[in-house]
Amino acid sequence: MDETMSEVKISYKKNKSITKEEACLRIIEGSPRNQYLFLPESEIIVGRKDSNYIVIKDLRIDEAHAKIKKNKGKVDIVGIGRSTFQYLPAGEFKNFIDPLLQIYNIDYLLKSSETGFRNGQNMSLLLMVCDSDYFGKINKNNGHEARDYILVELSKLIQNECRDKNVFARYEGEKFAILLINTNLKLAYGVAEKIRSSIETYQFIVNDEILPTITFRIGISEVNSSVKKSKDLLNHAEEACRKAKEYGRNRIVMWENEQISTRMTL
């Protein structure tokens, strides 16, 4: 495969003395995507050389391409060659990452939404709440291990349709939320439909048994005159998701122009 087309392989030297309370880098572009690399207190070297703390197999960068040293300043995004990382300060992983799914929790999503409102970006924010249909029955029939497996697979399917700058989080249980940044309702609906259809067509296999088809209902909200604070955006998306259940599940419902707008998928 052409080196310019292949995905960059990234690895790092694991240190048992480093805990998940330390600062870390999340891999946004590169493989394995969305893995967290925890950083020591000391200065580290990043580059192609195998002896580096973080090794990036990318011919576009040097053997010792960059140094990273933790300090009080905050770095949001770090770009090195064809690789992109997100920096999380010490304690943020433990506070804002779901331990099972390794995605953000709802606290981080709400924090990001509030930051967008404070910075005047609220008019370009949309929020999506995704909830599974009849998940309780599947959980009851197959047990907690199967439940965890399904949740991990669901999170991967949803994450595949999320842009890197969007915030994807576990809301609660089998419910997820996505904060979409710099987009509009038409594009958000397209993302929601890709998520809905990818889950509906995916085969979940537990103990060599194909489970019944899993479907999702999705509620979408946008900023309008009824949204006074960031939490309103979440409340509207939740209401739209509840309406999707009332209307028959496995569909997308949008809150727009201060009212519910049904976009049904049958």
Residue 56 sits at the vertex; the CA angle it makes with 26 and 66, to the nearest 5 degrees, is 85
Q: What is the pLDDT of residue 121?
A: 65
Q: What is the per-residue pLDDT across 212-262, written as a single tens digit (0 to 9) for each?
A: 899 999 999 988 777 888 899 999 999 999 999 999 999 999 986 656 665
Two tokens at 68?
A: 């990273």
Task: Tell if the pTM clears 0.85, that is, is over it.
Answer: no
Two tokens at 176?
A: 């997820």
Least confident window among 48-62, 156-170, 238-252: 48-62
- Could you give the 3-state DSSP secondary structure of residue 200? helix
Q: What is the per-residue pLDDT across 64-111, written as a single tens digit (0 to 9) for each?
A: 677 776 555 455 667 777 787 877 777 777 888 998 998 999 999 999
Two tokens at 138?
A: 């599947």
Q: What is the pLDDT of residue 133?
A: 93
Two tokens at 39?
A: 């950083």
Alpha carbons 213 and 258: distance in angstroms, whole number? 33
Alpha carbons 64 and 67: distance in angstroms, whole number? 8
Alpha carbons 85 and 77: distance in angstroms, whole number? 6
Average pLDDT in the 192-199 region?
97
**Would you give the distance in Å from CA 237 to the centre of its chain?**
17
Could you give all domains of the chain from N- to C-terminal order, each with its CATH number?
A: 9-94 (2.60.200.20), 97-263 (3.30.70.270)
